[in-house]
Structure 1
Amino acid sequence: MIFVAPLRTWFVNVPLGDGSIDVSLSDCDVTVAEPPGGEAVDVKAAAQRALEEPLGAPLAERIDASDDVAIVVTDMTREAPDDVLLEVLLECLADLGVAREQVTVVVGLGLHRPMTDAELEAMLGPHADLAVNHNPESVVEVGTVGGSEVYGASGNASDGVPVEIGLPVANADAVLSTGVVEPHQYAGFSGGAKTVVIGAGGESLIRHTHGPETLAREGVRLGRLEGNPFRELLDEAGDLVGIDLSLNLTHGPTGVLGVRAGDGRRIVRELATVARDALSVPIEREYDAVVCGVGAPKDANLYQATRGATYVALGDRNPLREGGKLVVPAALPEGAGEGTGERRFYRRLREVDDAESLYDDLREGYDPGAQRAFVVARVLCEHEIVVTNSEAPDVVEECLMRAEPDVCDAVESGSDVLVVPDALNTLLVACSRADGGLRTRI
């Protein structure tokens, strides 16, 4: 753990879109939260090794050469080399006698907007022709999860939550998936069954897992797997769907840090351990403001970019003092966002005058997608969120947040500032939880 006395002449580099900006924070005490990092691996070689040494039975024991195979991949809101992971899976399937024509690649959109042909080609390269966008309205029910652990709005126990899955997945003989195990606001860490049951699922499971009853439960928090009911529902749903094998990776400041293949629960646990070691930074004091770096692809719209603020404020250790502010540089070329969930998020935020009334209203329930409005409202009840450097300042102002041209316009002179260059991949934890890096620099 490194602590250096703060300096007062500052130029800090933070991500913005596909590039970065230099931010001047003169006359401020500035500390930079930099995770330890870890050693990067070659993705393709690591993926090949992972399939050769899976956690659980090898792929050869999970599928037959005659199977029609669905491979669910993440969409462009996730920073993952899906083209590389897909290439390795296709090579392995070919070695087992599964022809390319037997494979359908399903883009796990959840309620995000469909990807364009150009975007699919950029993401999947020569295998884009195999891809179809998930349609959340074209699903079939495969069972229910939760049972007596699931409660409706009345507070009475229900028979469980229906698990719906897209037809290309439901009709396949074998289901594989790619994914990224990274800090997630609700699931603790993403990856595993989540790519399939949320990305290629229907609204029923999304509505419940992202609803106020679930999000308010003990254990539903960033970076937590054990005792997390959100994560447990996803894994139970994955059992119903019958995910034969997942190929996931985790990444940090230096690049991809590890790849695992096999049973979803096991790969998530292993990669989450790798991620925690690489991404945890201990926090021992409070700050006036936190600059939350996001960058592409998450800062394409306000729905995704607000994760920078909520990950910081609702993580293991909120570094802000009472009344402190969260500053999020974000390009926002898509404004609030264009998918079903993004539009619901935008509508709920712009229809109210204050965060407190919105939070109280959303506690009674909301449509899937609006959960992001729920957690943003929760943060706004305690802290101001300022979005800077965006192409859509009017959208920001409509959504109970403040827009400023630049970070320096959002931070008052003399402030004690914490800069988190990669807020989505930094776990701010209490000092007893981890050793990491807090440092200052010019």
Structure 2
Amino acid sequence: MNLPLGEGTIDVSLPACEVTVAEPPGGESVAVRSAAENALDDPLGPALSERVDPDDDVAIVVTDITRKAPDDVLLDVLLERLSSRGVAREQVTVVIGLGLHRPMTDAEIETMLGPHAELAVNHDPESVVEVGTVDAGERDVPVEIGEPVAEADTVLSTGVVEPHQYAGFSGGAKTVVIGAGSESIIRYTHGPEMLANDGVRLGRVDGNPFRETLDAAGDLAGVDFSVNPTYGPAGVLGVRAGDGRRVVRELAAVARDALSVSVPSDREFDAVVCGVGAPKDANLYQATRGATYVALGDRDPLRDGGRLVVPAELPEGAGDGTGEQRFHRRLSEATDAETLYREMREGYEPGAQRAFVVARVLREYELHVTNSEAPDVVEACLMRAEDEVEDALEAGSEVLVVPDALNTLLVDGR
């Protein structure tokens, strides 16, 4: 079978194992541009023309290189609509929603945004404006947004509605609140109190306090209009535009239909092979999502003491951004997963939350990373490095292969 690795694939053969492959239905793909234009013609809520005035300064927050999003096409459609409303190109700033990831290079921005690259600036989490607070029980958490966004008259966002470990599904206000936000809101939303909440779960939107916090913060940030696609194995499955809450819910329903794979409640596996591929396998921080999406999703298919196997290139090692480096430091300085998990339950710096989630998984399962360019980094982070997928599996194992672990929802097949 072929599994993703970087921009290509690897051929994996497991004749000594009993193999089951989790292939979601996939749905039918749509043409991104026409789907985006149709979404703007039939928005969820007031039309874009009712949200923006000709003399407005407009900020459009887009995703960064860690997300697979057709931002060039979505941006092209948005700019055409803004122009037809009388908004000049010079009134538009495109803000790359980095969160705590590393800044994108000029070459990367040009590749991602094409002719619109000159409009783009990297978000600076140190240059933010407080726009209000969200209720966090005994305290209020400041919502701080990057200056180009906070000072704009109209705020638009792109992004992808895809399964997300904490938000249930990404998209909507998340692109702005996290991507163009500061450490304060990231520290709260990604802190141990939030992430230990039962409602914070992959694939869940309703009753998810993480998602609810993002939406409330998005109101404060003035997110006026979102344009999001959702993906499946076949490609882009749909695009919606308008109110962020409604966009996320409609596309989440589309994604669930296309991405869900039922696993019988009485079936367990010795190992799960979690395909990731580019752009998420550029570094260990992102690539570990493949394992945690499986182990901490709606239906954990592993037996006690099982193992997760993630083929990942890792050309950036652990990753170069602030969050990635904090992730690496926490894991590489830890003696064992259980101790690290207990320590991090007391708190940690923003960006380190992925180490907390990985430690939670490592308490129960082994995590093997194969085919990487950074085996020393893997081994230093409480995980095991192997040359090939086959090397990480024992003969006779019952193995579940999830070729696209980030876009597959394993659900209980009662």
TM-score range, shorter chain: over 0.9
**How many pairs does the alignment contain?**
412
3-state SS of the aligned residue for 2:248? helix
Q: CA offsets, 1:20-68, max 9 Å, x none?
A: 0001212110000000000100000000000010000001111100001
3-state SS of the aligned residue for 1:180? coil
- In structure 1, the residue matched to 2:76 is 87
1:112 aligns with 2:95: no
1:277 aligns with 2:261: no
1:205 aligns with 2:191: no
1:309 aligns with 2:291: yes
1:22 aligns with 2:2: no
| Cα distance in 1 between the residues matched to 2:335 and 2:169 | 33
Cα offset for 1:217?
1.2
- In structure 1, the residue matched to 2:364 is 382
- In structure 2, the residue matched to 1:233 is 213
Q: Percent identity?
A: 77
> One-letter code of the match for 1:373?
A
Structure 2 counterparts to residues 400-439 of structure 1, below 5 A: 400-432=382-414
1:188 aligns with 2:168: yes
Q: CA offsets, 1:358-412, max 9 Å, x none?
A: 0000000000110000000000000000000000000000000000000000001
> One-letter code of the match for 1:203?
E
| Cα distance in 2 between the residues matched to 1:135 and 1:374 | 25
- In structure 1, the residue matched to 2:2 is 13
| Cα distance in 2 between the residues matched to 1:249 and 1:96 | 23
| Cα distance in 1 between the residues matched to 2:231 and 2:343 | 37
Cα offset for 1:14?
0.4
- In structure 2, the residue matched to 1:264 is 244
| Cα distance in 2 between the residues matched to 1:161 and 1:20 | 44
1:255 aligns with 2:244: no
Moved segments of 4+, more than 4 Å: none
> One-letter code of the match for 1:388?
T
- In structure 2, the residue matched to 1:288 is 270
- In structure 1, the residue matched to 2:65 is 76
Cα offset for 1:218?
2.3
| Cα distance in 2 between the residues matched to 1:38 and 1:261 | 20
Cα offset for 1:343?
0.3
- In structure 1, the residue matched to 2:26 is 37
> One-letter code of the match for 1:185?
Q
Q: CA offsets, 1:77-124, max 9 Å, x none?
A: 110110000000000000000011110000000000000000000000
| Cα distance in 2 between the residues matched to 1:268 and 1:140 | 26
Unaligned runs of 5+ in 1: 1-11, 152-156, 433-442
3-state SS of the aligned residue for 1:336? coil
Unaligned runs of 5+ in 2: none
| Cα distance in 1 between the residues matched to 2:218 and 2:386 | 43
| Cα distance in 1 between the residues matched to 2:186 and 2:206 | 21
| Cα distance in 1 between the residues matched to 2:50 and 2:390 | 57
| Cα distance in 1 between the residues matched to 2:17 and 2:40 | 50
- In structure 1, the residue matched to 2:380 is 398
| Cα distance in 1 between the residues matched to 2:294 and 2:197 | 19
> One-letter code of the match for 1:232?
E
3-state SS of the aligned residue for 1:428? strand
| Cα distance in 2 between the residues matched to 1:107 and 1:126 | 15
3-state SS of the aligned residue for 1:179? coil
| Cα distance in 2 between the residues matched to 1:218 and 1:331 | 33
3-state SS of the aligned residue for 1:326? strand
- In structure 2, the residue matched to 1:163 is 143
| Cα distance in 1 between the residues matched to 2:413 and 2:239 | 28
- In structure 2, the residue matched to 1:102 is 91
Q: CA offsets, 1:231-256, max 9 Å, x none?
A: 00000000001111000010100000
